Structure 1
Amino acid sequence: MTTPLSPPASTDPSDLPVVRLLPKANARAIRHGFPWVYANEMVTDRRTKALAPGSLALLEDSARQVMGVVAVNPASKIFCRMLDQNAEAVVNQNWFEAHINRAVQLRDQMYDAPYYRLIHAEADGLPGVVIDRFGDTAVIQANAAWADVHIDALTAALVEQTGVRHVLKNASGRTRSLEGLDDVSGVLHGEAPSAPVQVPMNGAIYMADLTGGQKTGLFYDQRPNHAFAANLTKGKRVLDVFAHVGGFSLAALANGASSAVAVDGSAPALELAQQGAEAMGVSDRFATRQGDAFDILTALRAEGEEFDVVICDPPAFAPGKPALEAGLRAYERVARLAAQLVAENGVLGLCSCSHAADLTQFRTASVRGIGRAGRRAALLHTGFAGPDHPQLPQLAETGYLKSLFFRL
């Protein structure tokens, strides 16, 4: 665990240190919107290496032309994150409020209730910052050092622009460790909820544990894919594998599925799924199986079980390039085991949230697995994250989620 970062001494551009690109760096890409500068692209003398993680600086190209205000972390492979191409920008509460206000306006155009991802990092102009909203409570993941440094201003701006009564900080996850940050979660404003929060989505009710659940408590990114799958499930038997709190299964039951089984390794997540089913009044059509998903898929096959719709939404098997080959093999295995459980003319949904596996690689692994199961497939639909998870075109990592739906 590291020591908490100190607040900035000043955010006035005239007081900021200057950091400079090497001649080999792709300054054009940065000017055209790429938000990161890697350590091997920077002039890293003793002075720049001594800058505190989360410091603000002015970025210059190799010709000493100012490119904007950046956040610096000498301890990270991402040495600089572009905050504002206006070199006169002052990063304070007002600056955060402008970004949050713009994000709120976009979400309010698309959603009739305040349950969504409010800030999606670089795509919403706040690199490394994720904020999910759950009614009058918001959860911040500050996954970059600069966001930890400015957490008070960010929290005040969030409260001012949204009116939320409670703001929590979630410090879990691999990204913070890569930035040299601590893993201490807590309450930034108001109070932590004493019970799971009910989240209405696609006609279903989900129970989100905002303090002890995975990530911020719920995965909003799959909302449109839940909806697509639910449209195929009326009167059908559904198997939801890697279900977490019942993402696909509860949406299916809300839209008329005859039955749904949720499979997950986490007993607490399945308990929340059960509570959601009870809140919806569909618990008589809902069942759970807790354990290793691969083992349960194999067991269901041995039991002779069959489902009209099977959906698998595993964790990231390939979170980085070193894990890519093993991750693709895992996706192939999931597809093979799941395809064996799909009834004739049924639907198989396969999902990946791996940054390192692009759509083509994931689709190839999935089709190979379906073929190894002895099934023939037609691709019905390719889905991505919802519009509250906008993509930054210059940054492929923001388009991480892929969902494929096949008729077998």
Structure 2
Amino acid sequence: MLPAQRNGKKWQKALQVPIPLHSSYLRAMTKVYLKKKIAPRIANGHPWVFGNEVDRIAGEVNAGDIVEVTYADGKFAGRGYINPKSQILVRLLTRNKQEFIDEQFIHNRILRAWQYRQKLGYTENCRLVFGEADELPALVIDKFNDYFVLQTLSLGMERWKDAIVRSLETIFSPKGIYERNDVPVRELEGLAQQKGFLSAPFDTNIIINENGLKFHVDIENGQKTGYFLDQQDNRRAIQHIVKGAEVLGAFTYTGTFEIHAAHYGAKSVLGLDISEQAVAQANRNAQLNGLDQVCRFEAMNAFDVLKQWGKDGRQYDVVMLDPPAFTKSREHIQKAVAGYKEINLRGMKMIRNGGFLVTSSCTNLVQPDLFLQTIDMAAKDARKKIRQVTFQAQAADHPIIWGMENTNYLKFLIVEVSDR
């Protein structure tokens, strides 16, 4: 029987009874002792403990088990799950010595994440759980109205998947839950890639509402969890600069920025993406909103097109660039920076005097300062002057925790571009 098919009322009643923190459990818990000289990262709140920061381990080490982490001076550091196959040996779940890691704990964390989103006004579509930022490392849950998509990206979090599903059932009574664990990072944890239903099967092609527009979302086969919720606030930021404008969008995926531009009064919008499947869905999205006469999409390699059209002298009032992450490895940061510089340089050259560049980077290894420096270098090489209109991060349902670089990953910039 699937977790979602179990008796919801019985489970809800069980959740109301806290499980006591037994002394026998604590005595049996494996203890991980940190070295004397470690980065202050852990003490300052970061949940990751790397293998080279550990002095010794007392007790059995079973991958996925909860362990207690102790500083070299004997002080309690926290509890989390361990995986010797991973470079991140332990991911801390709590720093409260009185807190027991059980299903009630998981339920409470998810409920707290939901209450936070409600306070901010993210109730229909949102990232319900954003991993470390919600003190549930390696767990991602996206809420698409009454449907939920989750990713358990580590062995320790995979162990709690049933409990996560039961908590979603209890809190939301959802229409469906789907896992998108078809991501390579799981293999680093010794886990297989997989995807499928965690509830009774449902139609995974759904329609969501965003900023007064409708969009098709393919939960099963779309990128990541099917839709990029992190740009939902940024898409509103273009509403004034696109009025009456000729707009070019590159790396459009399913066309959300471009359709927003058409909705906000653009004269014409052309979106480009290398994926024919994404372009087909983008055109369906334009039709869904009655904007297909203004907004169209073509399957083309944006890198090549920007270069060639720039040489051809094609000009637009607004150019929008939303490329995928250029690297996930620190070794290739400079290549990523070179890539961002090149596409933004090409984009700027195609903008009419006084027009606007809308550009993003989701590469978390390229931090905000470096991204802005890259855009500045591109402007200089393109012989353009730029004036910042706005610089933002991801939507607030993806909260940023200071000191955790991976939570501050999205850079969204609008600049006015003019001739020197």
Task: Give TM-score scaled by structure 2 length.
Answer: 0.89
Q: Identify the match of residue 22 of structure 1 among 9, 15, 35.
A: 35
Aligned to 1:244: 253
1:40 aligns with 2:52: yes
CA distance in structure 2 between the partners assigned to 1:147 and 1:207 by the alignment = 30
CA distance in structure 2 between the partners assigned to 1:338 and 1:218 by the alignment = 25
Aligned to 1:364: 373
State the Cα distance separating 1:303 from its structure 2 match.
4.4
Q: Identify the match of residue 287 of structure 2 among 245, 266, 278.
A: 278
CA distance in structure 1 between the partners assigned to 2:122 and 2:81 by the alignment = 35
Compared with structure 1, are the counterparts of its residues 303 and 287 closer, same or farther at alpha carbon in structure 2 (3 Å cutoff)?
A: farther
State the Cα distance separating 1:275 from its structure 2 match.
1.1
Q: How does 1:108-127 map to 2 (within 5 A)?
A: 108-111=118-121, 113-127=123-137
- Segments of 5+ residues of structure 2 without an aligned counterpart are 1-20
* 109-118 vs 134-143, which moves further: 109-118
State the Cα distance separating 1:383 from its structure 2 match.
1.1
Aligned to 1:141: 151
* 165-174 vs 128-137, which moves further: 165-174
Question: Do the aligned partners of 2:34 and 2:56 also contact (CA within 8 Å) in 1?
Answer: no
Aligned to 2:244: 235
SS in 1 for 2:119: helix
Question: Do the aligned partners of 1:203 and 1:255 also contact (CA within 8 Å) in 2?
Answer: no
- Segments of 5+ residues of structure 1 without an aligned counterpart are 1-10
Q: How does 1:277-356 map to 2 (within 5 A)?
A: 277-356=286-365
1:69 aligns with 2:69: no
Compared with structure 1, are the counterparts of its residues 102 and 379 closer, same or farther at alpha carbon in structure 2 (3 Å cutoff)?
A: same
State the Cα distance separating 1:278 from its structure 2 match.
0.8
CA distance in structure 2 between the partners assigned to 1:247 and 1:73 by the alignment = 39
CA distance in structure 1 between the partners assigned to 2:202 and 2:326 by the alignment = 32
CA distance in structure 2 between the partners assigned to 1:364 and 1:32 by the alignment = 28
Q: Please tell me the residue identity of whatever aligns with 2:30.
A: P
Deviations 1:310-343 (A, max 9, x none): 1111111132211101000000101111111111
CA distance in structure 2 between the partners assigned to 1:16 and 1:166 by the alignment = 36
Give RMSD over aligned pairs.
1.8
After the TM superposition, which segments of 4 or more aligned residues of structure 1 sit over 3 Å from their partners? none
SS in 2 for 1:366: helix
State the Cα distance separating 1:372 from its structure 2 match.
1.7
Question: Do the aligned partners of 2:258 and 2:271 also contact (CA within 8 Å) in 1?
Answer: yes
Compared with structure 1, are the counterparts of its residues 320 and 296 closer, same or farther at alpha carbon in structure 2 (3 Å cutoff)?
A: same
State the Cα distance separating 1:395 from its structure 2 match.
0.6
Question: Do the aligned partners of 2:122 and 2:397 also contact (CA within 8 Å) in 1?
Answer: no
Aligned to 1:176: 186
Q: Please tell me the residue identity of whatever aligns with 2:31.
A: V
Question: Do the aligned partners of 1:222 and 1:385 also contact (CA within 8 Å) in 2?
Answer: yes
State the Cα distance separating 1:112 from its structure 2 match.
6.1
Between the two proteins, what is the percent identity of the paired residues?
27
Q: Please tell me the residue identity of whatever aligns with 2:137.
A: P
CA distance in structure 2 between the partners assigned to 1:22 and 1:281 by the alignment = 62
Aligned to 1:159: 169
Q: Please tell me the residue identity of whatever aligns with 1:368.
A: M
CA distance in structure 2 between the partners assigned to 1:232 and 1:144 by the alignment = 42
Deviations 1:11-45 (A, max 9, x none): 9642421111111224x542431111111001356
State the Cα distance separating 1:265 from its structure 2 match.
1.3
Aligned to 2:11: none
Question: Do the aligned partners of 2:184 and 2:193 also contact (CA within 8 Å) in 1?
Answer: no
SS in 2 for 1:170: strand
* 238-247 vs 89-98, which moves further: 89-98
State the Cα distance separating 1:291 from its structure 2 match.
2.4
Aligned to 1:102: 112
Question: Do the aligned partners of 1:320 and 1:355 also contact (CA within 8 Å) in 2?
Answer: no
CA distance in structure 2 between the partners assigned to 1:185 and 1:67 by the alignment = 35
Aligned to 1:131: 141
State the Cα distance separating 1:51 from its structure 2 match.
2.4
Q: Please tell me the residue identity of whatever aligns with 2:255.
A: G
CA distance in structure 1 between the partners assigned to 2:366 and 2:311 by the alignment = 31
SS in 2 for 1:305: coil
CA distance in structure 2 between the partners assigned to 1:72 and 1:374 by the alignment = 52
CA distance in structure 1 between the partners assigned to 2:350 and 2:212 by the alignment = 27
Question: Do the aligned partners of 1:34 and 1:394 also contact (CA within 8 Å) in 2?
Answer: yes
Task: Give TM-score scaled by structure 1 length.
Answer: 0.92
